Amino acid sequence: MIPAPAPSLALWKKHKGTLTPWLFLLPGLLMFAIYVLIPIVQSIWISFHEWDGLGDKAWIGLGNYIELLDDDTFYTSLKNNFLWLVLYLLAIPGGLAVALFLNQNVMGIRLYKSLFFFPFVISQVVVGLMFTWFYAPDFGLFSALIEKLTGQQIAILADERFVTYGIIVAGLWPQTAYCMILYLTGLNNINPEQVEAARMDGAKGLKLLWHVILPQLAPASFIALVVTVIGSLRSFDLVSIMTAGGPYGSSQILSYFMYEQALSEYGYRMGYGAAIAVVLFLIMMVFITLFIVRMLSQERNS
């Protein structure tokens, strides 16, 4: 190493203790600030402007937000986001059920577990295309099934009544697999003595599950809840691939609505898009804050 000049060396020696962690943090923190922290502030700032992404920004105060309140698509998106959030939660009991089903020691079970996990590894673009095909009238397996059962064809993705549910089911597929793997790991680490003791006392089946097993699975359930809530509100790919928000905007969600407005083929509305993003951000911040408060208290206790 090149010897540093004396004064700065003295300075380094004096502050070495406090400076060292910051030197380790510097590259990561810098990247994170440039690409994540600062853009959040910028987006909020841009949301108060009318901006086409090229020229000058024109300050319009709350104009974008007022316009949002008058936008039917905004309400459709909010409603659909709510549907996503609620129905996505089904992935948690679904994942638990699959995990319980697979938590056995029979030949080939490892392979079964991996194959059940498969949907999560595949890109959502591919999942979206698969389900588009699955639902496609005339072509699709699902649509053929429906026709057998009800005698009529239903084009799920072209029907305003069913489209959002159809997309959510596609999203539940990988999400259930994700929750399943969390629970499988949790089940693997259950305290066998407690289970045996409860069995001695005559507990079994659902009662045993509810009173003994589920409390021990609490950490897995918490993570499953976090990733499912965040995943439902962040979903974008499936709507983009399967319907692009259609038919007639009936499957819109905030994330896609924002993208469409900001980079629309009818002209870029960056300010309006940013305002939608801010609304989504605020909704998610409520959940993120709740999760972080809980994690923080765990951190303090350990």
Partner 1 sequence: MFPTPIQKSARWAQIGYKLLLPMALVLWLLPLIGVAVTSVRPAGDLAAGNYFGIPSSFAGVENYTAVFQNSPIGWYILNSFKVTIPTVIGAVALSCLTGFALAVYNFRANLLLFFMFIAGNFIPFQILMVPVRDMTLKAGMYDTTFGLVLFHVAFQTGFCTLFMRNFIKGLPFALIEAARVEGVSEWKIFTRIVLPLMRPAIAALSVLVFTFIWNDYFWATVLVQGQHAMPVTAGLYALNGQWVAAWHLVSAGSIIAALPPVLMFFLMQRHFIAGLTLGATKG
Residues 97-136 that bind partner 1 (CB under 8 A): 98, 100-101, 103-106, 109, 112, 114-119, 121-127, 129-131, 133-134, 136
Helix/strand/coil percent split, the chain, to 5: 75, 0, 25
Q: Does 25 bind partner 1 (CB under 8 A)?
A: yes
Q: Does 83 bind partner 1 (CB under 8 A)?
A: no
Q: Does 280 bind partner 1 (CB under 8 A)?
A: yes
| Backbone torsions φ then ψ of 103, nearest 5 degrees | -80, 65
Residue with smaller CB distance to partner 1, 164 or 261: 261
d(CA 78, CA 70): 13
Residue with smaller CB distance to partner 1, 43 or 79: 43
- Which residue, among 239, 280, 250, has the nearest Cα to 68 in the 3D structure? 280
Give the x/- contact pattern for partner 1 in 236-255, rule: CB under 8 A.
xx--xx------------xx
With CB under 8 A as the contact rule, which of the stretches 7-15, 41-49, 58-66, 152-160 interacts with partner 1? 41-49
Shortest Å distance, C-beta 221 to partner 1: 9
With CB under 8 A as the contact rule, which of the stretches 67-75, 84-92, 137-145, 158-166 interacts with partner 1? 137-145
Q: Does 88 bind partner 1 (CB under 8 A)?
A: no
Half-sphere exposure of 287 toward its Cβ, with a 13 Å CA cutoff? 17
d(CA 238, CA 240): 5
**What are the angstrom distances between the C-alpha of 44 and each of 37, 65, 70, 84, 257?**
11, 11, 20, 25, 17
Q: Which of residues 61-80 bind partner 1 (CB under 8 A)?
A: none
Q: Is 240 in contact with 256 (CB distance < 8 Å)? A: yes
Q: Does 94 bind partner 1 (CB under 8 A)?
A: no
Out of 14, 42, 52, 215, the residue judged to bind partner 1 by CB under 8 A: 42
Q: Measure CA 237 to chain center.
A: 11
Q: Does 203 bind partner 1 (CB under 8 A)?
A: no
Tokens 């990247």, residue located: 31
Q: Does 3 bind partner 1 (CB under 8 A)?
A: no
Out of 14, 15, 39, 66, the residue judged to bind partner 1 by CB under 8 A: 39
d(CA 302, CA 291): 17
**What are the angstrom distances between the C-alpha of 272 and each of 56, 182, 206, 234, 279?**
15, 39, 50, 19, 11
Angle between helices 72-88 and 254-262 (to 10 degrees): 140
Residue with smaller CB distance to partner 1, 59 or 133: 133
Q: Which residues contact 132 (CB under 8 A, 6 or more apart)?
A: 157, 241, 242
Shortest Å distance, C-beta 70 to partner 1: 21
Q: Does 200 bind partner 1 (CB under 8 A)?
A: no
Q: Does 286 bind partner 1 (CB under 8 A)?
A: no
Out of 182, 228, 251, 252, the residue judged to bind partner 1 by CB under 8 A: 182
Q: Does 38 bind partner 1 (CB under 8 A)?
A: yes
Out of 181, 232, 239, 250, the residue judged to bind partner 1 by CB under 8 A: 181
| Count, residues near partner 1 per rule CB under 8 A | 111
